[in-house]
Chain A
Amino acid sequence: KNQVEQSPQSLIILEGKNCTLQCNYTVSPFSNLRWYKQDTGRGPVSLTIMTFSENTKSNGRYTATLDADTKQSSLHITASQLSDSASYICVVSSYSSASKIIFGSGTRLSIRP
């Protein structure tokens, strides 16, 4: 069964600290993996997209890694800011088919001053 599991469910860190969010998937065959940031009551905003051949991709203070062998991805946030407080959702796509997009439940990140 195609699944995307994220951990932790929620995380609280102090402003300025780094953190790493995890995503494990069983989606097969794999097409690409995306990390989204979703502010409360808003639509998801894409942070990074990675295909099978990419191991690391950065977007400012966000760095995503992908290990296609172990089917794991991580999102590392450096020097966190209060505005980073949001849900971070891992999304894995199978073929180029809209119905084969599997969303994770997200990690709820709270940054405290």
Chain B
Amino acid sequence: EPEVTQTPSHQVTQMGQEVILRCVPISNHLYFYWYRQILGQKVEFLVSFYNNEISEKSEIFDDQFSVERPDGSNFTLKIRSTKLEDSAMYFCASGRTGGLNEQYFGPGTRLTVT
């Protein structure tokens, strides 16, 4: 069964460094999402992406964040200058349609900012 994959599973970085989190969505999916979950807290929506542009973004998704689909398979989340509070699990999700009942989540990348 196809699934969303994410790399790396765990990323440790120093404050102020740039990080790129990578996701490979399910191959025939067209809608892509990033969520984050700070340890012990709720999952929060960051951004949705369709047709090579951002469809929606939350207040969390400020100028430090960017997303890109550099080729036909990868979907990346870049954090330009990481802060301690960016430490969280970052989940990628994809869907064949934009229906919210059809999002498939990846296993997540644990980002630790020191």
Residues of chain A having any CB pair with chain B under 8 Å: 31-32, 34, 41-46, 49, 89, 91, 93, 96-99, 101, 103-106
Stretch among B14-22, B62-70, B79-87, B102-110 lining the A interface: B102-110
Contact flag A44-B99 (CB < 8 Å), given A98-B56, A99-B56: no
A-side contacts of B110, CB under 8 Å: 41
A104 to chain B: closest CB distance in Å? 7
Contact: A43 with B101, CB < 8 Å? no
A31 to chain B: closest CB distance in Å? 7
Contact flag A42-B99 (CB < 8 Å), given A98-B55, A101-B45: no
Q: Which of A49, A99, A105 has the most CB of B within 10 A?
A: A99
Contact: B58 with A96, CB < 8 Å? no
Contact: B56 with A44, CB < 8 Å? no
The 7 nearest A-B residue pairs measured at CB: A43-B105, A98-B48, A103-B43, A49-B101, A99-B56, A93-B100, A103-B42
B-side contacts of A42, CB under 8 Å: 107-108
Chain B residues with a Cβ closer than 8 Å to the other chain, count: 26
A-side contacts of B104, CB under 8 Å: 46
B-side contacts of A34, CB under 8 Å: 101
Contact: B100 with A89, CB < 8 Å? no
Given contacts A93-B100, A103-B42, 16 further A-B contacts (CB under 8 A): A32-B100, A32-B101, A43-B4, A43-B93, A43-B106, A46-B103, A46-B104, A89-B43, A96-B100, A98-B45, A98-B55, A98-B56, A98-B98, A101-B100, A103-B43, A106-B42
Contact flag A44-B48 (CB < 8 Å), given A98-B33, A99-B57: no
A92 to chain B: closest CB distance in Å? 10
> When chains A and B are docked, how far (Å) is the Cα of A89 from the Cα of B55?
25
| Chain A at the B interface: SS class | mixed
Q: Is B91 an interface residue (CB 8 A)?
A: yes
In this complex, what residue of B is CB-closest to A31?
A: B100
The residue that B42 contacts in the complex, of A31, A93, A96, A105, with Cβ under 8 A, is A105
Task: Identify 21 residue pairs between A and B in the complex whose beta-carbon atoms are under 8 Å apart, listed by A's number.
Answer: A31-B100, A41-B89, A41-B107, A41-B108, A41-B110, A42-B107, A42-B108, A43-B107, A44-B43, A44-B91, A49-B101, A96-B98, A96-B99, A97-B56, A98-B48, A98-B56, A98-B98, A99-B45, A103-B42, A104-B42, A105-B41
